[in-house]
Amino acid sequence: MSLLLLKESEMMSARETVDKLRLRRETSEAEETAAALLHRPRRLRRLDSMRRLVRETRLSAGDLIHPLFVVHGQGIREEIDSMPGTHHWSLDLLPAEAEEVARLGIPGVILFGIPAVKDAIGSENFDDHGIVQEAIRTIKKAVPDLVVITDVCMCQYTDHGHCGIVEDGRVLNDETLEVLARVAVSHAAAGADVVAPSGMMDGQVAAIRSALDAAGFPQVAILSYAAKYASAFYGPFREAAESAPQFGDRQGYQMDPANAREALREVALDIDEGADMVMVKPALAYLDVIRQVREAFDHPLAAFSVSGEYAMVKAAAQRGWIDERRVTLELLTAIKRAGADTILTYFAKDAARWLSE
């Protein structure tokens, strides 16, 4: 019966009936929905302790490696402009810094040196009393148990700023290997635990492994920067290490950011050449590469969260645009979740502190 045909009084009661029916229908729908929802993922998110119980990825100070820039001089603890909270250190102040790193539960440091002079072949790089060699001795004496890793590359030490020997504007591969081998041996002789070739020269791991073994350092490990991309995220580091190339760029040896299959090939080659650990660098824009390397290989995998990643977080946090602590821990967790075992990060000390609170 159409409502239009009803009288005024009948109209009221009819409307009430309709309302009641509608109400009943809504209630029973809600009940049905509740019954149908067998799966309620929110149950496990209700309490902080519950969330901890089901957490899949755990970040801890033991996952982190702290980068250290070492310079000649005395009493130097100079902050790097584009990397607030990161400093240049002279040797006399290194023991205290190394002790603090160890106290925070961080197992290792990676050293980058700024030499007194630069030349065509980067002579200070393999000088037994170069800045890095002295820094290794200083740290191993102060905190013997702290793992000392050294970056093995030429760019900080050469006047042209490239990662190899340059001839007619070209970066020579095989000639560079001899220099890198010499650098690695001098780091080992000074007491380095791990050498980390970062120049992306073909065959660098094999050249370094055989030189270390021949020189009586079979116990020194190699962490290879296996998949290192030609990235714009290295900008602040190049300022810190004064290592920007004076002509051209690094695309002739570092990887094209568009390639992931090639990263698997690079990692396979380095493992074949004797790398003990492999690295993907940068981290944040390459989480898919980290994941793929993790799935294809069983070697320990490191990821380098580089200077530009750090600088972006710092810059936004300084403006109050993001919460530095939460963003940092979220990013580091993401890098581990992607599959990294170890993270090289300029946030290592802060993160270790936050994680212990």
User: Does 155 help bind ligand PBG (rule: CB under 6 A)?
Assistant: yes
The rounded distance, in Å, linking the Cα atoms of 17 and 12 is 9
Binding-residue pattern over the window 306 to 325 for ligand PBG, x denoting contact by CB under 6 A: xx------------------
Residue 309 burial by Cβ neighbours in a 10 Å radius (0-12, 13-18, 19+): buried
User: Does 237 help bind ligand PBG (rule: CB under 6 A)?
Assistant: yes
Q: Which of 234, 253, 286, 347 binds ligand PBG (CB under 6 A)?
A: 234
Token pair listed for 122: 């980067």
Q: Which is closer to ligand PBG, CB of 163 or CB of 206?
A: 163
Query: For residue 84, is the peptide bond before it cis, meaning its omega torsion is within 30 degrees of 0?
Result: no
Q: Which is closer to ligand PBG, CB of 13 or CB of 251?
A: 251
Please tell me which residue in 20, 140, 141, 228 is annotated as part of the active site. Answer: 228
Q: Which of 73, 173, 175, 238 binds ligand PBG (CB under 6 A)?
A: 238
Q: How many residues are listed for the chain in this entry?
A: 357
User: Does 163 help bind ligand PBG (rule: CB under 6 A)?
Assistant: yes
Residues 123-152 that bind ligand PBG (CB under 6 A): 151
User: Does 111 help bind ligand PBG (rule: CB under 6 A)?
Assistant: no
Is the separation of the CB atoms in 262 and 238 below 8 Å? no
Q: Which is closer to ligand PBG, CB of 110 or CB of 355?
A: 110
**Three-state secondary-structure class, residue 202:** coil
Active site residue 281: yes
The entry of ligand PBG, Zn ion, none near residue 307 (CB within 5 to 8 angstroms by kind) is ligand PBG
Q: Which is closer to ligand PBG, CB of 95 or CB of 245?
A: 245
Is the separation of the CB atoms in 329 and 305 below 8 Å? no
The helix (run of H) or strand (run of E) holding residue 307 is: helix 307-318
The helix (run of H) or strand (run of E) holding residue 185 is: helix 174-190
Active site residue 118: no
Token pair listed for 49: 């302790």
The rounded distance, in Å, linking the Cα atoms of 266 and 127 is 30
**Site residues, ligand PBG (CB under 6 A):** 151, 153, 155, 163, 198-199, 234, 237-238, 243, 306-307
Please list the active-site residues: 228, 281
